[in-house]
Structure 1
């Protein structure tokens, strides 16, 4: 069987005008996971990312210089757009500025999005789920034995919940657990596709590595 190793991007710029930029910590996390893969002699046969800068820059900082294939189905859902739609353009300041409140509110908002409980979002949950599935098929339709993908937490949560046959709610429950540059591994062959490892961060399992841990 072949492996699809999907890595969440490094820490981005939460609370800044442009979230789609890796922080210095995000670059350090990316270097650490790249170094681990080389230490394990895990050399990818194929590289795939979404089109977001934080995803492509994670791959670059991991030390892989070849240009990846790009599939926009691997892009994160637009959480800012969802919050704006739910609050009709008037997102409370505490939701924007307080990390704990932000993620608690985002969880509730995604559940409502899944249920079509509000209008105005640029993408439905059904469309998001369909494009993630299209990206999964794209990445695994290959003769490559080791496929390295860099994506985002919502995509990984969605792909994992579908592989497990879980309810749609599990997509967000998994999403919120995923650490920056965590590794989630799937095995595939033909139409078979199964989860092998979720949210692994062995590159953080040392005293110095533990200082790199982040979730957003």
Structure 2
């Protein structure tokens, strides 16, 4: 039985000119999840990440802390949905505003709902069916490559993780909309593969942010 650990990237720079950069807190979160992987004794057979800067930086910091010498392989299919494009076409162009993140989150969730409902006929460069197809494909590729007892760690984003988890539970769209809002930065999700198929074992674990590390817990 193989296992895939899906790790959400650390906190990015919400409201800044360049969102796709880990904040100082995000870097600390990335190191903390690496320590957690080491504590669990996860022997990394394969490491993957998206090509976004926040995903790659999280991978580099976490793997260094975990003690894994496994090189990380970037693959754009692990990238998050394009929130700017979706907001432009389905959310009236709502922009990130560090002064009112809750209002932006509400606007984004409405835009995501409209994006999903628009289906293949939607105006975005990447429609919901296209997004789902690519994340299914890259996940299947990684999970099917694992032998008995092998472990892969993938550093990606909340939307990707939520869609995949929803898919494993029978409803990718519902997972995307309901799970995405509660994913924590540098949270851990575990999926196992074996003779009986692919099974979601845990979602969004963040016990490594309990106790003295509670200040590292963020959702956005």
- Structure 2 residue corresponding to 1:79, chosen from 75, 80, 83: 83
Aligned-residue CA RMSD in angstroms?
A: 1.9
Match of 2:51 in 1: 51
Instruction: Decide whether the 8 Å contact of 1:111 with 1:169 is kept in 2.
Output: no
Query: Unpaired segments of 5 or more residues in structure 1?
Result: none
Report the equivalent of 2:168.
163
1:202 matched residue in structure 2: 207
The correspondence for 1:212, drawn from 189, 209, 216, is 216
Q: Partners in 1 of 2:107 and 2:15 — Cα distance? A: 15
Structure 1 equivalent of residue 60 of structure 2: 60
The change in CA–CA distance for 1:30 and 1:142 in structure 2 (over 3 A counts) is same
Q: CA deviation at 1:191?
A: 7.6
TM-score with structure 1 setting the length: 0.91
2-structure distance, mates of 1:191, 1:67: 30
Partner of 2:12: 12
Q: Which moved more, 1:24-33 or 1:119-128?
A: 119-128
- The 1:116/1:191 distance shift into structure 2, 3 A limit, reads farther
Listed as ranges, the matches of 1:143-158 within 5 Å are 143-144=146-147, 145-158=150-163
2:181 corresponds to which residue? 176
Aligned residues: 212
Distance in 1, Cα, partners of 2:69 & 2:130: 32
Is the Cα–Cα contact under 8 Å of residues 51 and 74 in structure 2 kept in the other structure? yes
Which consecutive segments of 4 or more residues in structure 1 shift more than 6 A?
A: none
Question: Which consecutive unaligned segments of at least 5 residues does structure 2 have?
Answer: none
